[in-house]
């Protein structure tokens, strides 16, 4: 009998260990703060997705690894939102003991690659210890670095990844296999110049104060990065812009437009030499721009608006990062106005479409009209427009009626139309809309005033 004691005991222990093993998964949430979230317009309109300034949100599609000691028990990409899998690992075999989960600021979302990097062009990682529970473990992580400054960088990188991955999850324009980059540029106090390690990002960040700070205007998409898979457009993010979800996705919208239209919708000349007789503000949502520039900028604004708002309402909230003469002090106090980007009258008829949604001063020299561009009409201002009006036209096209065109359908329309003229963007797209027909053409016509006025005189 004694001879058989050890094998029997070993078998019993093996059965005991197996009894403690179970199948589970981990659902990850990252804590991040967006400075441009949470403010309601004076008519009650507010953005719908992650409206709280600080909240936990799933890192859609991020690359992850789970280890138990030195053994990797699961690795791959977190779910990107289908069937309740947002931010969750696939199921794996676990034990009731400590595990470590790593998440990287890169991932695969809607079959596209999303990458956020720091000033050294590095993908960052964060980790957390946890003990798995049966079926599912909810793991909330606050990104942190090696010191307070590094923690700020990590928060910026993961804030950009979180916003960008959610944007790709919602609207990838039907594209697959593309790379989308956010690159965090650094600003150093070194005599008034900004230093970014490596090229070609050396001119993206402008030090304009003492001590130097990076301007929020330095979010550029006119650079590219080359890797073994090709050359890709890059959005740089400055310290002031890293936690602004609307401007982040505006910049990503330029990358989306470039990819889904094969380069047709990519930039434009925004340096219109004429002065707006009512309001000069440089390059801004309300500034006078050549038609092709306003079209491209308006599409990027529309993409950000579409990402952060649902279509179940007639209104649309967009948080801008600056203000003009027509905005009330309340928007100045909130570091910029909220824009009602709906191209129709929304819940507050007669005012919801005006300017920056009721956030305007009553000024006889700046009467509020149906379209921003109608604020000041001059015969010599031909073939120029503003991106705020283009934004509203795109939004109305995409949300009007029972079966409006999808984002992908709109993207294919812009792709097939090709490069538009500097001053004929409306006329070119109008002809292409006729060729598409259906609800796209109908919604285009319904949201563009007669002869295209307000987006192309």
Both tokens of 366, joined, read: 């700046």
User: Distance between CA 307 and CA 7 in Å, rounded?
Assistant: 61
The whole-number pLDDT of residue 280 equals 52
The whole-number pLDDT of residue 392 equals 84
The whole-number pLDDT of residue 445 equals 86
Both tokens of 268, joined, read: 């434009």
The whole-number pLDDT of residue 272 equals 60
Low-confidence ranges of the chain (pLDDT < 70): 1-19, 40-44, 186-231, 238-241, 267-282, 313-314, 323-337, 343-382, 449-457
Both tokens of 236, joined, read: 């740089």
Both tokens of 213, joined, read: 């700070």
| pLDDT tens string 251-280 | 899 889 988 988 888 765 565 655 554 445
The whole-number pLDDT of residue 434 equals 95
The whole-number pLDDT of residue 240 equals 61
| pLDDT tens string 186-207 | 655 443 344 443 333 334 444 4
Three-point CA angle 152, 156, 162, nearest 5°: 140
Both tokens of 139, joined, read: 């793991």
- CATH 2.60.40.10 domain span(s) along the chain: 21-243
Q: What is the CATH number of domain 21-243?
A: 2.60.40.10
């Amino acid at each position: 009998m004694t001879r058989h004691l050890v094998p029997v005991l070993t078998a019993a222990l093996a059965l005991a260990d197996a009894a403690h093993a179970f199948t589970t998964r981990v659902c990850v949430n990252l804590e991040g703060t967006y400075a441009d979230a949470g403010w309601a317009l004076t008519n009650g309109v507010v953005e719908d997705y992650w409206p709280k300034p600080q909240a936990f949100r799933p890192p859609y599609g991020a690359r992850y690894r789970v280890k138990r000691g030195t053994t990797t028990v699961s690795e791959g990409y977190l779910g990107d939102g289908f069937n309740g899998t947002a931010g969750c690992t696939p199921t794996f075999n676990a034990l009731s003991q400590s595990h470590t989960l790593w998440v990287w600021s890169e991932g695969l979302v809607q079959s596209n690659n999303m990458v956020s990097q720091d000033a050294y062009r590095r993908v960052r990682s964060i980790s957390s210890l946890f003990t798995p529970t049966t079926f599912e473990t909810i793991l909330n992580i606050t990104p942190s670095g090696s010191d307070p400054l590094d923690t700020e960088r990590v928060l910026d990188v993961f804030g950009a990844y979180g916003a960008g991955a959610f944007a790709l999850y919602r609207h990838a324009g039907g594209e697959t296999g593309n790379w989308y980059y956010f690159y965090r540029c650094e600003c150093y106090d070194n005599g008034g110049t900004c230093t970014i390690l490596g090229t070609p990002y050396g001119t993206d960040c402008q030090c304009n104060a003492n001590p130097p700070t990076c301007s929020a205007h330095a979010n550029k998409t006119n650079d590219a990065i080359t890797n073994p898979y090709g050359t890709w457009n890059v959005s740089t993010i400055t310290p002031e812009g890293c936690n602004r979800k609307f401007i982040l996705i505006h910049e990503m919208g330029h990358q989306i437009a470039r990819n889904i239209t094969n380069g047709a919708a990519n930039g434009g000349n925004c340096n219109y030499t004429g002065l707006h007789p009512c309001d000069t503000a440089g390059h801004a949502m309300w500034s006078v721009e050549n038609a092709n520039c306003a079209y491209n900028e308006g599409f990027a604004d529309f993409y950000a608006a579409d990402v952060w708002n649902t279509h179940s309402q007639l209104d649309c909230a967009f948080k801008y990062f600056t203000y003009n003469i027509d905005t009330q002090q309340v928007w100045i106090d909130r570091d910029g106005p909220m824009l009602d980007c709906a191209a129709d009258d929304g819940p507050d008829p007669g005012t919801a479409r005006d300017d920056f949604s009721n956030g305007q001063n009553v000024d006889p020299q700046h009467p509020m009209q149906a379209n921003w561009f109608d604020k000041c009409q001059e015969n010599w201002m031909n073939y120029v427009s503003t991106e705020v009006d283009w934004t509203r036209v795109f939004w109305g096209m995409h949300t009007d009626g029972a079966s409006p065109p999808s984002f992908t359908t709109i993207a294919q329309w812009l792709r097939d139309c090709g490069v538009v003229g500097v001053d004929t963007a409306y006329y070119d797209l109008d002809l292409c809309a006729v060729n598409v027909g259906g609800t796209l053409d109908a919604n285009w016509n319904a949201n563009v005033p007669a002869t295209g006025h307000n987006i192309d005189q």
